[in-house]
């Protein structure tokens, strides 16, 4: 399997298909590069080079005990970009991956980047604080950590069966294949990485990161996102970046790149080509 080894000795698995302008995908918690199958095949067939990696502790990357924070996530992404010598890249991040993209651009600069897309993403900050009164209480994330630590396999069936894909909404067309694939990806990763990752995606404040981004940014968010609530995320991120565009999807769930792949892919293509 294609991997790189980071400065702290972690093996990061990646996919690198095709040629042309590179599109780099950063996945959500607790999944893997496989969660981008619909997007990678679509853009590969459109003549783009598509790249995606498994975050440390996730998928096929090393299940290390430490380094499960946004600094390491951003540095690992930078290592992949530099190893592959990617230039004029479009960075697309979903959920936690959106935080990873924002932190990467702020921490490592935009010399190799052309545009960025944040889909259902965690910035500016998820947890409720004095400066973020619209956030979710810390107890919500404590509960997620407890489930990862004690009953991960069932938790990873319940989350995609319900709020992640909006399958708990009246009239929703439930896909057992999507649920099983989510569970498969989650269980490939390490429990420690997923446990620590909850703190990384919920407590990291990306406000200053977003302010540093100069390249065009498309913020895509569903207004029925039950994982990263719309009002405290997408609109705020779009305002904080210097060149941001917000696209709101009525009724779309958190996992809309999968459930609504045709619409999301078409809008991504239009942004990339604009």
**What are the structural domain ranges in the chain?**
3-273
Q: What is the mean pLDDT of residues 225-236?
A: 98
Is 3-273 CATH 3.40.50.1820? yes
* Integer CA distances (angstroms), 177 to 77, 162, 173, 184, 236, in order: 29, 14, 12, 10, 34
Token digits for 88?
């004029």
Residue of 225, 232, 233, 237 with catalytic role: 225
Residue of 32, 95, 202, 233 with catalytic role: 95
Q: Does the global pTM surpass 0.85?
A: yes
Q: What is the mean pLDDT of residues 163-186?
A: 98
pLDDT score, position 63: 98
**Nearest-angstrom CA–CA distance, 58 and 12:** 9
Percent of the chain with pLDDT over 90: 100
**Nearest-angstrom CA–CA distance, 20 and 193:** 33
pLDDT band at 116 (very low <50, low <70, confident <90, very high): very high
Beta-bridge mates of residue 24: 51, 91
pLDDT band at 216 (very low <50, low <70, confident <90, very high): very high
Q: What is the mean pLDDT of residues 51-70?
A: 98
pLDDT score, position 156: 98
To the query of whether residue 254 is one of the catalytic residues in this protein, the response is yes
Instruction: Provide the 10 A C-beta neighbour count for residue 49.
Output: 18
pLDDT band at 274 (very low <50, low <70, confident <90, very high): very high
pLDDT score, position 21: 98
pLDDT score, position 209: 98
Beta-bridge mates of residue 37: none
Beta-bridge mates of residue 225: none
Q: What is the mean pLDDT of residues 239-268?
A: 98
């Amino acid at each position: 399997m294609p991997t790189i080894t980071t400065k702290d000795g972690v093996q990061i698995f990646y996919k690198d298909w095709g040629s042309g302008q590179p599109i780099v995908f950063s996945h959500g918690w607790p999944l893997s590069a496989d969660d981008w199958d619909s997007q990678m095949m679509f853009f590969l067939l459109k003549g783009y080079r598509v790249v995606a990696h498994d975050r440390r502790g996730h998928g096929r990357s090393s299940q290390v005990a430490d380094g499960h924070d946004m600094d390491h996530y951003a540095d690992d992404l930078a290592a992949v970009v530099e190893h592959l010598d990617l230039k004029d890249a479009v960075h697309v991040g979903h959920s936690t991956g959106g935080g990873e993209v924002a932190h990467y651009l702020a921490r490592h600069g935009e010399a190799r980047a052309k545009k960025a897309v944040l889909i259902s993403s965690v910035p500016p900050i998820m947890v409720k604080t004095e400066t973020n009164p619209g956030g979710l209480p810390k107890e919500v994330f404590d509960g997620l950590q407890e489930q990862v630590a004690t009953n991960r396999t069932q938790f990873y069936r319940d989350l995609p069966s319900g709020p992640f894909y909006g399958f708990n909404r009246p009239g929703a067309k439930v896909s057992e294949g999507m649920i099983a694939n989510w569970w498969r990806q989650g269980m490939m990763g390490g429990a420690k990485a997923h446990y620590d990752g909850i703190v990384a995606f919920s407590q990291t404040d990306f406000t200053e990161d977003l302010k540093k981004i100069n390249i065009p940014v498309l913020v895509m968010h569903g207004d029925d996102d039950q994982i990263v609530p719309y009002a405290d995320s997408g609109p705020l991120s779009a305002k904080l970046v210097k060149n941001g565009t917000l696209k709101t999807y009525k009724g779309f769930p958190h996992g809309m790149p999968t459930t609504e792949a045709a619409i999301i892919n078409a809008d991504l293509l239009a942004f990339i080509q604009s």
